[in-house]
Structure 1
Amino acid sequence: MAAKSSSSSSSVSSGLRQAFDKYSKFGKTQAQLADHNELRIGSGGIQKMMKDCSLLNSKYTSQLLDNDIARVLGKLTTGAAEAGVTHYPKGTKTFEIKGFKLLIDRIAESKGVGHDEILSKINQNEGPSLTNVTETANKDITHRMTDTSQYTGTHKERFDEEGHGKGKEGRADEVNTTGYVHGFKGGNQ
């Protein structure tokens, strides 16, 4: 019987790890993910997870969740480094998986429910939802405004063939001001 509870415990733990991975990667570019050697989740990702899992309500609001996040981060950054206990450098504002598990324990305590109830709601969730995400209001207008065939003169240079803006290189002519004589503007002529 004990083997069954440990296998269900490991599946709950792996479900928490999957949810942690999904929400910590949500909304980040590949470059942002490559900057860190381990995944970390900030308060925005935690807020989204708790909303998607229906853990926030009129009794346990997002303000109370922010307070729990601050309390757990405070404990993790101010405590002395002990063997087996996660310790974060001062000023850290994100959680790695071990710290996130401590936060889940704190949330369960604040809500007055069991740790397993929080984990089961997180495990039932399929990942970050895209409800209430801003979409392009009128795609026809956006397409028309980025279609370079409709522009003349220098405005045509502001967008590439796919309709993406070129930024400064599409608006400004860069002048090469290198040379031996001060103010000389015609290099390599």
Structure 2
Amino acid sequence: MSDAASTPDAVEQVTQDVKAVKLENGAAPGAANGTKPEDNAVSFKDAFKAFSKFGDSKSDGKHITLSQSDKWMKQAKVIDGKKITTTDTAIHFKKMKLMKLTAEDYQKFLEDLAKSKKVEVDDLKKKMTTCGQPGLTSHVTKSQTAAAAVDRLTDASKYTGSHKQRFDETGKGKGIAGRKDLVDAAGYVSGYQHKDTYDKSH
């Protein structure tokens, strides 16, 4: 009798565990509870939990910091450097007067931010629930940005001033000749134009 009574609770627990595993593996939990996932969307609560654990192995998933929030918003392209910046998020986060926000407080933070920036809070939340798992897209962006920076910095054709003198027309380095003024020990004075023209038969 007691076993039968505890079965629904056990089933519910297993369901929650499966949802958690699916969230960890990048699947949309929305599919498990009967709702249709849109663009791999997860519920706001599940996304909040995932990002509140991002970079903090000791987090219980119930509180989120400003740093974690900014990472989430950057990944979701809510922070775009134009309409909403990290300065905006910092101002509104500090208004809450807490170092870490619960999901309820975070909702208030989002509403306050959306109101001041004249955007719909639902639009922000939609972006934040369809941006994927924490860190999924930022690594690609960082590696692409780094590669572009390396290409730009190693393109000798764009060098100017004294740095330009270190390379020949093909972009190949001249070695030490491109870095130091080497002394000509041939015996001629500096600037002499007729070097090696003396007739040795005299």
TM-score, reference length from structure 1: 0.48
Q: Which has the higher contact order (CA 8 A, sep 6+)?
A: 1
Q: Which has the larger radius of gyration?
A: 2
